Chains A and B, each alone.
Chain A
């Protein structure tokens, strides 16, 4: 067994440590040690060991076998776009792993695939939704909408009798054999109108169930052929106005007449009674001349409409500005306050000579261990004006509307969020503080710096190098901190100047939720996705700028 020699490792280790924060350097060391250990374990060399090759062939074979299956399914379901993309992916995978060389691609391929599937695809999909009118009433394709309208337009003819029905077959065609309430047997199919028959065999309940020359279907057979049987519409007479007989369960039939009839050639629904015509309005619905639409519509592309609506809809525009301002206030204040409290506590509990440090630290992270939405509910109970613990016990029965006054509600939300968020900052700061070299501290003190000065000029800048990225991520998190707002105030108290259910503590993400899941006017995924994209742009911009600033911090050291 060759002994690993750390000196043989790439020389880059030494050069990188200089600019890396201490923890990252430690991580790199660990990676190299790991590599060395791997080397010890395998004891083989060369890229083409037999085991490796076999494993490679087997795995690639499995992947390809599955891929072929998927491609076949895609072909059968005629999903051409998915088929092309999937084939390209499969080809790329095979090419990457079968060719010699191209090592980086072999490393990168899985990660990039995951990135594409779980991030890029999702982002693009919500991006796509933002340009459609997807939402209540615009739920599926036009074909589905037409089918659904036709389905619901079937109305039973008033006072028409209920028929017992049996399904028969002759020469590959399905027939329905009806028994009307008086016991008369009649037969018909989609092509042949209802006609009376004699000689039908009857069961004990008097229902006609067989006819010479026809074969009677058993229930199992009826179910196995249900798609065709459900399509049977037997005209009651030569006059189409009398309606048709249909069965939904294979054993009873009723006389139906459509209230609306669809003409595929002109793409028009016509009301059978009033003769009113409903045409494709171009907005994903059938509408008559007065703009009155049929209930069920379909999804269409609407271009930039949703973005335009976000800024022009009067019931959205007014509150939107307020909501954006409060979102910034909320997320910046949350980060600043949680960081201040967390850092203060971290420094306090970092003292070498403190006893029972472990117990304190455990107590400190308890709020972190609580699910945020549960704490939200608990706090909303504590803050109830009349029965809440805060007013009743601490404030001696004062009636303060902690969650119902617009300003106090904002304060309450912030306080609860700080309570929820400081343990995280406490943990992060404790970790960062402990990795700071103590010599600097000593050196500064020897030079006569006050503790405050040491903290401000030495510890804090060093701390920020490693903590700043976390502050940015914390900002992004709080920018979208749905749980606290939703469980504590639900966004309320409501603004008086808007029709929509938007309130003083709503942040953008709760606003999006309310738009998407229809607390007022129905679900509107298109508008919600447009708003989500706006949020994404804001957060991405701020994060990018902040990360640039962090780079500057690193250069200081």
Chain B
């Protein structure tokens, strides 16, 4: 029996240690489940920041932008004594994390993101409006428009991005205005053996790419949503299925795999970039994010205005990046101070530009950045654009829109029929 006993004691101790850890874990977990207490305080003015839980502001930011915010956060700290903690988050998951964590009180005070998140944020009640006052006029109109939702401004913009047409100037040396001219130039280059593809635009093999094709669509007079009185998109006016949209669908089929093969469903974004970098095409419909690689490759290029396929202006969707304040920020006043008085400053917007390379939203910073002709060209095109719809209904549009365009490009089914069916499907989702 003695062997048994000794064995038991030994193991019991070990088990005990593990038990202790597990209890700690269990308790820690249950502690997290509780709601944080907010100490009631209406006594005379408190003096100590840290005692009031106001010593820090937490901001969720992506890895690329985090270093650009260092200077301005340091300035804020030396001015006010409040530290801005930059928490680097994965961009793909940060929106949903923010929505789920804000109600628990564990979310940040601030988050960086594109303006089309606003709809989802408001729907879930997780962001607060920001009143910019007179400062709003210092920003480009399009950026403030994009940040406006239901008549209120929800974020401080810092960058605007949109697509343009990159042209390899050593293959085609002159600018063209319409898609027909672009295609003619491209085909000529192919016939002369200077290129393999007349025109490049990346297509997701599963979802197509309605974002990149939108300028063509808008130039034919087709839009997604109508606008209500205050200039915001109105989900009740779904315009995508109108006659202009159907015309666009027919054109898509003509450009697609079964037609002229200008838009090729097998060319993904990566393949399109690779082919343009290899000098195999004179045209590439893309955004500023691909410009650095094109420059690195030493390709001589120009940033052209978006080609029109119909009688109207080719309006790209513009995406505006900005800072949003949590609706449940425990440090709302300091956060507002930081957002409206520090992040709107020229130096902050300048350093965001240096880090991201996207045209700044602040006019003064943009003018400086526009000394770079690429930024200037993208900025000019952006000024003609329309904000990407931020209403939550838009997420019901993307999947159908992309899949239908892809099917039409592939030559599957009748384009007019597919387009009408898509509009009906979107309508039923938004309605229900």
Residue A191 CB within 8 A of the other chain: no
Cβ distance A70 to chain B, nearest Cβ, rounded Å? 4
Contact (Cβ within 8 A) A107 B45: no
Residue B9 CB within 8 A of the other chain: yes
Contact (Cβ within 8 A) A224 B12: no
Complex interface: chain B residues within 8 A of A271 (CB): none
Given A82-B33, A141-B103, A248-B332, 8 new contacts (CB under 8 A): A74-B30, A151-B327, A172-B43, A225-B52, A226-B331, A248-B130, A499-B428, A521-B396
Known: A42-B10, A249-B341, A403-B205. Contact between A223 and B34, CB under 8 A?
A: no
Residue of B100, B131, B429 touching A520 (CB-CB under 8 A): B429
Within B3-30, the residues touching A (CB, 8 Å) are: 3-13, 15-30
Within B293-320, the residues touching A (CB, 8 Å) are: none
Residue of B3, B120, B133 touching A252 (CB-CB under 8 A): B133
Within A214-237, the residues touching B (CB, 8 Å) are: 215, 217, 219-230
Chain A contacts to B: CB under 8 angstroms: 4, 8-10, 35-36, 38-39, 42, 44-47, 49, 52, 55-56, 59-60, 62-63, 66-67, 70, 73-74, 76-79, 82, 85-86, 89-90, 93, 97, 103, 106-107, 109-110, 113-114, 116-117, 121, 136-137, 139-141, 144-145, 147-149, 151-152, 154-156, 162, 169, 172, 215, 217, 219-230, 248-252, 254, 259, 295-296, 380, 384-387, 403-404, 489-490, 492, 494, 499, 501, 517-523
Complex interface: chain A residues within 8 A of B48 (CB): 224
Residue of B26, B336, B392, B396 touching A89 (CB-CB under 8 A): B26
Contact (Cβ within 8 A) B49 A223: yes
* Total count of chain B residues near the partner, CB < 8 A: 98
Show 22 residue pairs from A and B whose CB-CB distance is below 8 angstroms, ordered by the A residue.
A4-B3, A36-B3, A63-B23, A76-B37, A79-B34, A97-B19, A103-B12, A106-B16, A107-B11, A110-B18, A113-B22, A114-B22, A114-B25, A139-B99, A140-B124, A148-B327, A152-B125, A248-B340, A249-B336, A250-B333, A250-B337, A521-B396
Contact (Cβ within 8 A) A137 B392: yes
Contact (Cβ within 8 A) A523 B96: yes
CA distance A197 to B172 in the complex (A): 71
Complex interface: chain B residues within 8 A of A152 (CB): 122, 125, 128-129, 150, 152
Contact (Cβ within 8 A) B333 A230: yes
- Stretch of B67-75, B161-169, B264-272 that contacts chain A: B264-272
> From B407, which residue of chain A is reached at the shortest CB distance?
A494
Within B252-308, the residues touching A (CB, 8 Å) are: 264, 266-268, 271
Contact (Cβ within 8 A) B52 A296: no
Complex interface: chain A residues within 8 A of B47 (CB): 220-221, 224
Contact (Cβ within 8 A) A226 B395: no
Known: A55-B13, A154-B129, A523-B96. Contact between A42 and B6, CB under 8 A?
A: yes
Residue of A77, A82, A490 touching B206 (CB-CB under 8 A): A490
Residue B237 CB within 8 A of the other chain: no
Contact (Cβ within 8 A) A85 B103: no
Known: A139-B99, A385-B266, A490-B206. Contact between A254 and B131, CB under 8 A?
A: yes
CA distance A484 to B246 in the complex (A): 36
Contact (Cβ within 8 A) B23 A89: yes
Most buried by A among B16, B19, B37, B80: B19
Cβ distance A105 to chain B, nearest Cβ, rounded Å? 10
Contact (Cβ within 8 A) B124 A228: no
CA distance A472 to B200 in the complex (A): 48
Known: A113-B22, A251-B341, A384-B205. Contact between A296 and B122, CB under 8 A?
A: yes
Cβ distance B283 to chain A, nearest Cβ, rounded Å? 19
Contact (Cβ within 8 A) A82 B34: yes
Within B69-125, the residues touching A (CB, 8 Å) are: 80-82, 96, 99-100, 102-103, 120, 122-125
Complex interface: chain B residues within 8 A of A70 (CB): 27-28, 30-31
Chain B contacts to A: CB under 8 angstroms: 2-13, 15-31, 33-38, 41-49, 51-52, 54, 80-82, 96, 99-100, 102-103, 120, 122-126, 128-131, 133-134, 150-152, 205-207, 264, 266-268, 271, 327-328, 331-334, 336-337, 340-341, 392, 395-396, 399-400, 403, 410, 425, 428-429
Complex interface: chain B residues within 8 A of A155 (CB): 151-152
Contact (Cβ within 8 A) A296 B125: yes
Contact (Cβ within 8 A) B9 A52: yes
CA distance A58 to B109 in the complex (A): 41
CA distance A495 to B263 in the complex (A): 23
Contact (Cβ within 8 A) B266 A107: no
CA distance A73 to B4 in the complex (A): 43
Known: A139-B103, A139-B126, A490-B206. Contact between A110 and B45, CB under 8 A?
A: no
CA distance A297 to B182 in the complex (A): 49
Contact (Cβ within 8 A) A226 B9: no
Contact (Cβ within 8 A) A295 B122: yes
Complex interface: chain B residues within 8 A of A226 (CB): 52, 54, 331-334
Cβ distance B46 to chain A, nearest Cβ, rounded Å? 4
Complex interface: chain A residues within 8 A of B11 (CB): 107
Contact (Cβ within 8 A) B133 A85: no
CA distance A221 to B37 in the complex (A): 21
Complex interface: chain A residues within 8 A of B34 (CB): 73-74, 77, 79, 82
Contact (Cβ within 8 A) B23 A67: yes
Contact (Cβ within 8 A) B331 A223: yes
Complex interface: chain B residues within 8 A of A494 (CB): 403
Contact (Cβ within 8 A) A35 B205: no
Residue of B82, B128, B264 touching A151 (CB-CB under 8 A): B128
Residue of A151, A169, A520 touching B45 (CB-CB under 8 A): A169
Cβ distance B253 to chain A, nearest Cβ, rounded Å? 17
Contact (Cβ within 8 A) A219 B80: yes
Cβ distance A275 to chain B, nearest Cβ, rounded Å? 18
Complex interface: chain B residues within 8 A of A82 (CB): 30-31, 33-34
Complex interface: chain B residues within 8 A of A140 (CB): 102-103, 124-125
Contact (Cβ within 8 A) B3 A39: yes
> From A250, which residue of chain B is reached at the shortest CB distance?
B333
Residue of A85, A228, A517 touching B96 (CB-CB under 8 A): A517
> From B28, which residue of chain A is reached at the shortest CB distance?
A70
Residue of B8, B17, B46 touching A103 (CB-CB under 8 A): B8
Cβ distance B414 to chain A, nearest Cβ, rounded Å? 13
Most buried by B among A222, A295, A499: A499
Complex interface: chain A residues within 8 A of B41 (CB): 225, 227-228
CA distance A111 to B120 in the complex (A): 41
Residue of B10, B80, B328, B337 touching A38 (CB-CB under 8 A): B10
